[in-house]
Structure 1
Amino acid sequence: MKLFSIRPKVIVFVIGILLVCSFFTYSAEEAGEGNLSQDGHGTEHSASNEEHHDQSHGGHHGVDGASLPLWSVIPFVGILLSIAIAPLVAEHFWHHHYGKVSLAWALIFGIPYLAAFRGDGFYDILHIYLLDYIPFIVLLWGLYTIAGGILVRGTLRGTPAVNTLILLIGTAIASWVGTTGASMLLIRPMIRANAYRQKKVHLIVFFIFLVSNIGGSLTPLGDPPLFLGFLHGVPFFWTMTILPHMVVLSVLILFIFFCFDSLMFKREGGQVPDDGTGEALRVDGAFNLIFLLGVMGAVLMSGMWKPNKDFNVFGVHLPLQNLAREVIIIFCGLLSLKFTPISGELRQTNGFTWFPIEEVGKLFAGIFITIIPALKILQAGADGALSSLVAVVEQPVHYFWITGGLSSFLDNAPTYLTFFNTALGKLHMNEDMLPEILASGFDLSKDPKYQTFVDYLVAISCGAVFMGANTYIGNAPNFMVKAIAESQDIRMPSFFGYMLWSGLILVPLF
């Protein structure tokens, strides 16, 4: 395309202009704050902050969200709009340069943020990478790697009943092996079973609805948003609170799918071909399930084992149990690669590549750093730049729709984290209170705000996980499943075409 014939120069020029503009804007704001301190209006606040910094994290505890303007979230909005729009208008460019685009937005935010806030800014960036991004991507990598070493073989014919059963199994296991793991485990058997079918798009669409999203709503292993909640103090099994909502929604969607698939099956003749092989079903690489159990055990361990020991990395405290969790997950993934190597027949038959996890890793590296001001502003509650939004969002239903609506377009993991912090800020609570408040048997009547927070958290969790299915960009596995289907010559709907499916089927059920 001629549009991108000089793209390197254009990209460098645009990034340079944005960096300079952002730098001077941040610097001007910082200078203004310095003037306030000098004229006597900010001296006491500055001194108290200094003392708190020194006591907490060797001189830094992060930037005060109340001091951040709303425009500071522009890089966050920019990277998310890039993810949504660039593949539609510049597919070739995006496919080859999405990592550079993510890096560009990260730099557009990160350099001015560091220049303006120095030590506190560095602490914020290091904190979100060490305590959020790395655990998030390590878990995704582990589940994706291990599930890619499991192959279902044998004669399997995709009748409406069989397809519904596959979706039911995938929905049931997604909370335990992850939506990514379940999707990678079952999407290829689903496609092979329906190779003879003429119309296959609906099979993949419903697969994304259930296996890649809604099925992962019951444990932190299931979906990235819930894992982030777990990292921020939500007990591992608390998410079972969502079970009634998940069951009702899943049953309704499975019923709709069975009726629709039965109609399509009859239109195609209603006959199942017989190739004469009758090969029995079997699972190759089943020992990888042991490694999946190892990942589950690692996550459980990190939530239950409290050695009260951590490592200080430039002021950011890394709990020993978190480091142990990451090491175990990586070790399980490496064992899977050892016993089922990438060059082996099993992974080759599965069509295993690193591209999906590489794409997620690069894009989320940019998302996690640019989301910092949004999180800070929302944590500031009524004192932040989004005080009007905080004031409007009052009821659980508000949290459900706003979290879900944004999760549809802005990726559900950071959206969950954003409104999780909004709820905490609105009720003047902090993460340290959550293990006790959300523990089984805790008396929520001790303070009305405890029950209110639980209601908010249920709504936020359901919105983030359920509505991640509304678009291709709502959850990490959605893109992976779409890519695998297209590699098998299934012509998937466009971005907006898929939204038509979800808008007609999912939204009315919500």
Structure 2
Amino acid sequence: MAVVSRLVVLIAGLIITLCAGTAFASEMGAHALHLDGSTLGLWWALPFAGILLSIALFPLFMPHFWEHHFGKVSAFWIATVLVPFLFLFGWQFTLYQVLHLALLEYLPFIILLLALFTVAGGIHIAGSFRGSPLSNTLFLAAGTALASWTGTTGASVLFIRPVIRANAERRFKVHVIIFFIFLVSNVGGSLTPLGDPPLFLGFLKGVEFFWPTGHLLAPMLTVAIPLLVIFFVLDTILLRQEGGLPPATAEPGTRVGIRGVANVGLLVCIVGAVLLSGAWKPGISFTVFSVEVELQNLVRDLLLLAIAYISWRYTDRGHRTANAFTWGPILEVAKLFAGIFVTIVPVIAILRAGESGALRAVISAVTGADGQPINAMYFWAAGALSSFLDNAPTYLVFFNAAGGDAEHLMGSLAGTLAAISAGAVFMGANSYIGNAPNFMVKSIAEEQGIRMPSFFGYLVWSGLLLLPLFAVVTVIFFS
């Protein structure tokens, strides 16, 4: 339970900081604590670009260094923002920015991922499977359907090892993993805030829980159904070249079934906790150093932590062992996203300044001469950045470029919000570094002896298969 111990230390540290900071909060007005993006130069965006490039390039060119020092790299980029804040704006302003991020965005984000990761990691699909085109397609379809409820990380953890076992004796199987990344690790997570981090950030900003379901279902099916059909045809052709289906692979002494089934119920509880925070509005809040924390959000986060603890405490450890479950991935996400959330603060402030900000060129590129957003540009711009950076901060960048008002974006600008959401979620599949589960699935496959394509080899697959489908989505939904 090292991860829980670290979480306790983090929360204790925050409590101490809050107690120290609250005593001085009244010395400054709330307005003085907010960052005016119109006064910031473009160099304030360099730390954000730096951490995203670090995440993209270090694992490729300096993997050993990255494996041991990614937390220090994240801390370095955090310092490049907070140290200037301290000298230019003072400690109270800096403390407010940190607490605002921690209490309203970062901790809720990490707690949800922790709960989904812990619960999904306790579900083990056991038994004998045959890697036929039909069974493989059904696996991919099931993972795609489940990803919006377990998260793309949770669905990837749950399904990737059964898929690899089913195809262990097949000669051609790289394509199975690639389509798995397309569908389960990315496209399938587009229907709820639980599915992919960008949508949960939107939920925290005020986007309704089922808004993505209603507005992204048709675009998602437009991508997912053709991919499943293409996969079935391709897998059938490759199986014929192999000379037929090999014998089923089996786990000794096991039958086909789901182990740790109580965790399925805990997944439902996670959905309920998130829905509760969106539907229950008691009107009670706590102000901590000018940061308003609403009761329903605090209750949600405590419930999610309790669900994660129950799953860890009462799930048979054998199920997690069979899944090769470790805390490493969630700790990596926690450290890296701490850097992302801090470094994006000045970027968001600049974007909020609109034409008065240093990133006015971004606003102009996605805005027509009449001042209206160009949805197709939002889709491709958000998608292009999500392909090579990280889709969660990319979503925030364009969410704020479109005004940052959830009520307005869900109303008259619903098409724009759908374009941003679809671009961020769908196009995370374009490269290994577009979404966190992509690299995780690649690593698991390579551990099992599957020789995956290089970084640029994968780009060929995604370019040939995904970009034409995204063009179709553009014409149908965002033109």
**Alignment TM class, shorter chain as reference:** 0.7 to 0.9
Matched with 2:113 is 140
Gaps of 5+ in 2: 1-24, 368-373, 471-479
Q: Supply the distance in 2 between the matched residues of 1:314 and 1:234 (Cα, whole angstroms).
A: 26
Pairing 1:75-154 to 2, within 5 Å after superposition: 75-118=47-90, 119-154=92-127
1:447-486 CA distance string (max 9 Å, x none): xxx42x2111010010000001111221122122122222
Matched with 1:39 is none
Is contact 1:147–1:185 with CA below 8 Å preserved after alignment? yes
Is contact 1:60–1:315 with CA below 8 Å preserved after alignment? no
CA distance change for structure 1 residues 97 and 278 in 2, over 3 Å: closer, same or farther?
A: closer
How much has 1:58 moved relative to structure 2?
4.4
Matched with 2:399 is 420
How much has 1:105 moved relative to structure 2?
1.0
Gaps of 5+ in 1: 1-52, 439-449
Q: Supply the distance in 2 between the matched residues of 1:405 and 1:345 (Cα, whole angstroms).
A: 41
- Secondary structure in 2 aligned to 1:155? coil
Is contact 1:151–1:185 with CA below 8 Å preserved after alignment? yes
Pairing 1:434-449 to 2, within 5 Å after superposition: 434=408, 438=410
Is contact 2:165–2:249 with CA below 8 Å preserved after alignment? no
Matched with 2:310 is 335
How much has 1:423 moved relative to structure 2?
0.3
Matched with 1:267 is 241
For the aligned residue pairs, the C-alpha RMSD in angstroms reads 1.9
1:140-160 CA distance string (max 9 Å, x none): 111111011011111111111
Matched with 1:407 is 386
Aligned counterpart for 1:171 among listed residues 130, 144, 154: 144
How much has 1:382 moved relative to structure 2?
1.2
Number of residue pairs matched by the alignment = 437
Pairing 1:297-336 to 2, within 5 Å after superposition: 297-336=272-311
Q: Supply the distance in 2 between the matched residues of 1:482 and 1:60 (Cα, whole angstroms).
A: 47
Q: Supply the distance in 2 between the matched residues of 1:201 and 1:424 (Cα, whole angstroms).
A: 42
Amino acid at match of 1:333: A
Greater CA radius of gyration, 1 or 2? Answer: 1
Counterpart check, 1:187 vs 2:147: no
Amino acid at match of 1:423: A
Amino acid at match of 2:443: A
Is contact 1:399–1:419 with CA below 8 Å preserved after alignment? yes
How much has 1:278 moved relative to structure 2?
10
Q: Supply the distance in 2 between the matched residues of 1:56 and 1:150 (Cα, whole angstroms).
A: 50
Pairing 1:210-289 to 2, within 5 Å after superposition: 210-240=183-213, 241-274=215-248, 280-289=255-264
1:195-245 CA distance string (max 9 Å, x none): 111222211111111011100111111111011001101111111211111
CA distance change for structure 1 residues 56 and 461 in 2, over 3 Å: closer, same or farther?
A: farther
Counterpart check, 1:71 vs 2:46: no
CA distance change for structure 1 residues 141 and 275 in 2, over 3 Å: closer, same or farther?
A: closer
Q: Supply the distance in 1 between the matched residues of 2:366 and 2:209 (Cα, whole angstroms).
A: 27
Q: Supply the distance in 2 between the matched residues of 1:274 and 1:477 (Cα, whole angstroms).
A: 27
Q: Supply the distance in 1 between the matched residues of 2:455 and 2:291 (Cα, whole angstroms).
A: 40
Percent identity of paired positions between Structure 1 and Structure 2:
54
Matched with 1:43 is none
CA distance change for structure 1 residues 275 and 113 in 2, over 3 Å: closer, same or farther?
A: closer
Matched with 1:352 is 325
Q: Supply the distance in 1 between the matched residues of 2:248 and 2:197 (Cα, whole angstroms).
A: 41
Q: Supply the distance in 2 between the matched residues of 1:409 and 1:77 (Cα, whole angstroms).
A: 12
Q: Supply the distance in 2 between the matched residues of 1:73 and 1:295 (Cα, whole angstroms).
A: 35
- Structure 1 stretch 307-316 or stretch 74-83: which is displaced more? 307-316
Q: Supply the distance in 2 between the matched residues of 1:279 and 1:261 (Cα, whole angstroms).
A: 27
- Structure 1 stretch 218-227 or stretch 482-491: which is displaced more? 482-491
How much has 1:495 moved relative to structure 2?
2.1
CA distance change for structure 1 residues 456 and 57 in 2, over 3 Å: closer, same or farther?
A: farther
Q: Supply the distance in 2 between the matched residues of 1:349 and 1:123 (Cα, whole angstroms).
A: 44
